[in-house]
């Protein structure tokens, strides 16, 4: 018999994917260049040139069994060592390769981290607004995702609501900074406060509470913004990283879990991840991309276009009277819609070929997300459409 649960999920596809599908269909009618598609977080800038060169050189010079063979379960040893060194240099940590587990992107990293520190029935708290895929990521492990309501004035953490929701059944807190969808970077003060609450709750409940820090946008931080490395503030942290956004390689599926060396059972987490992989059929990411990225580990794509786009959009939104918190990083912005019903707002925007994602699935009502990983020239044209939309539909 087929599995009813997964069958039912087909009826509720991701809102973001549905809008991206609409944008593609509309693009076929009027030319994709005329659709202002702010739906998907697919990086728009090229991969670092050096990465392309490295891959070509590897293919031309290295043994094919080395490049295309299975890598060991936790990942290629050279890649793990280089990753640990990189994190130690950049963030002043003291990882060894034994703390690094290579994964298929951040999705794979979070999937492993969650399973390491929760069992079915446990609660995992996350903070609105949050990445909607956290629902399947968490709930399909058997643990239960609970969402702490947003602090809509700053999109930092709503600590009052968080403390109310903490209880002995909470085994992990899943955070995402820089944040999709708000673009907000949690400040040092926020991370310190989160760490101090969790330290005291660990003592009170007599068990560990892990932070699972989902960090695929760690490198996309705008000028002057303080972007603390979460693991420096809290020992029981599993950092989940991805090269999808920083190197523009989401299709290569590469990321890792980095286990804080002072976490409980730190030396067992990576071997546990290897066992989890056996159960989920994840196995290892492709050897070639692990090796190539390790050789370019200090590089990123030219990410500056995202800040240029953010400033253009933010300034226009403010001029038009939108309520919006200025993003500190990522390629997302999360303004308040001009009516309470964000779905209706987004539907009206379609008339102007503006594809805006309503906020309901991010755990906040009345907002919308724009993923501005598109060409700056297109952003500029889209602002004309935005002005027209706001004037005609809302008289502003």
Ligand X SMILES: Cc1ncc(COP(=O)(O)O)c(C=O)c1O
Least separation in angstroms between CB 220 and ligand X:
11
Closest CA to 110 of 86, 90, 130: 130
Least separation in angstroms between CB 373 and ligand X:
10
Beta-carbon contacts of 339 under 8 Å, excluding residues fewer than 6 positions away, are 345, 366, 394
Q: Does residue 107 interact with ligand X by CB under 6 A?
A: yes
Interface size with ligand X, residues (CB under 6 A): 13
Least separation in angstroms between CB 253 and ligand X:
7
Q: Does residue 41 interact with ligand X by CB under 6 A?
A: yes
Locate 161 and state its tokens.
């609501």
Q: Does residue 216 interact with ligand X by CB under 6 A?
A: yes
Contact with ligand X (CB under 6 A) among 176, 248, 300, 346: 176
Q: What angle do CA 281, 287, 293 make, to 5 degrees?
A: 120
Query: How many angstroms separate the CA atoms of 62 and 391, rounded?
Result: 60
Locate 15 and state its tokens.
């809102």
Beta-carbon contacts of 143 under 8 Å, excluding residues fewer than 6 positions away, are 114, 118, 119, 120, 121, 122, 123, 124, 171, 172
Binding window for ligand X (CB under 6 A); candidates: 71-79, 103-111, 274-282, 346-354: 103-111
Q: Does residue 300 interact with ligand X by CB under 6 A?
A: no
CB of 39 or CB of 180, closer to ligand X: 180
Tell me how far the alpha carbon of residue 57 is from its chain's centroid.
31
Output the residue with the shortest Cβ distance to ligand X: 105
Contact with ligand X (CB under 6 A) among 95, 101, 131, 345: 131
Query: Do residues 190 and 232 make contact, with C-beta atoms less than 8 angstroms apart?
Result: no
Binding window for ligand X (CB under 6 A); candidates: 84-92, 100-108, 146-154, 379-387: 100-108
Neighbour-count burial of 293, counting CB atoms closer than 10 A to its CB (0-12 exposed, 13-18 middle, 19+ buried) = buried
Least separation in angstroms between CB 390 and ligand X:
27
CB of 41 or CB of 358, closer to ligand X: 41
Buried-state track 352-385, b at ≥16 Cβ within 10 A, e below 16: bbbbbbbbbbbbbebbbbbbbbbeeebbeebbeb
Q: What is the footprint of ligand X within residues 240-269 (CB under 6 A)?
A: 242, 244, 250, 255
Coil, strand or helix: which one is 355?
strand
CB of 37 or CB of 214, closer to ligand X: 214
Q: What is the footprint of ligand X within residues 63-92 (CB under 6 A)?
A: none
Query: How many angstroms separate the CA atoms of 193 and 122, rounded?
Result: 23
Contact with ligand X (CB under 6 A) among 55, 106, 342, 390: 106
Least separation in angstroms between CB 14 and ligand X:
11
Which residues here bind ligand X, judged by CB under 6 A?
A: 41, 105-107, 131, 176, 180, 214, 216, 242, 244, 250, 255
């Amino acid at each position: 018999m087929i599995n009813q649960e997964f069958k039912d999920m087909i009826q509720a596809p991701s809102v973001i994917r549905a809008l991206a599908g609409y944008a593609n269909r509309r693009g076929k009618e009027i030319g994709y260049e005329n659709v202002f598609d702010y739906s998907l977080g697919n990086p728009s800038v090229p991969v670092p040139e050096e990465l392309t060169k490295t891959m070509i050189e590897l293919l031309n010079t290295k043994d094919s069994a080395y490049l295309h063979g299975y890598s060991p379960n936790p990942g290629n040893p050279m890649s793990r060592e280089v990753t640990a060194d990189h994190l130690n240099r950049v963030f002043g940590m003291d990882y060894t390769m034994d703390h690094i587990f290579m994964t298929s992107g951040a999705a794979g990293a979070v999937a492993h981290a969650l399973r390491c520190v929760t069992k079915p029935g446990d609660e995992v708290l996350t903070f609105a607004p949050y990445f909607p895929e956290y629902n399947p990521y968490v709930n399909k492990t058997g643990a239960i995702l609970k969402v702490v309501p947003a602090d809509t004035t700053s999109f930092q953490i709503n600590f009052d609501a968080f403390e109310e929701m903490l209880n002995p059944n909470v085994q992990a807190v899943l955070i995402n900074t820089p944040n999709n969808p708000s673009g907000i970077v949690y400040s040092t003060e926020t991370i310190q406060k989160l760490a101090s609450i969790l330290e005291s709750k660990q003592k009170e409940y007599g068990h560990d509470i892990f932070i699972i820090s989902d960090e695929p946008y760690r490198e996309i931080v705008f000028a002057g913004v303080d972007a603390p490395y979460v693991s420096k503030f809290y020992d029981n942290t599993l950092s989940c990283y991805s090269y999808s956004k920083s190197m523009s390689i989401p299709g290569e599926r590469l990321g890792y879990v980095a286990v804080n060396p002072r976490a409980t059972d730190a030396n067992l987490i990576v071997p546990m991840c290897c066992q989890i992989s056996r159960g989920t059929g994840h196995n290892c990411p492709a050897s070639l991309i692990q090796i190539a990225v390790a050789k370019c580990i200090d590089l990123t794509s030219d990410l500056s276009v995202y800040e240029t786009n953010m400033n253009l959009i933010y300034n226009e939104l403010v001029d038009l009277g939108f309520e919006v918190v200025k993003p500190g990083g990522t390629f997302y912005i999360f303004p308040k819609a001009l009516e309470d019903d964000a779905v209706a707002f987004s539907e009206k925007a379609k008339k102007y070929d503006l594809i805006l994602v309503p906020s309901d699935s991010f755990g906040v009502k009345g907002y919308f997300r724009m993923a501005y990983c598109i060409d700056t020239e297109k952003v500029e044209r889209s602002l004309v459409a935005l002005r027209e939309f706001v004037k005609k539909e809302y008289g502003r």
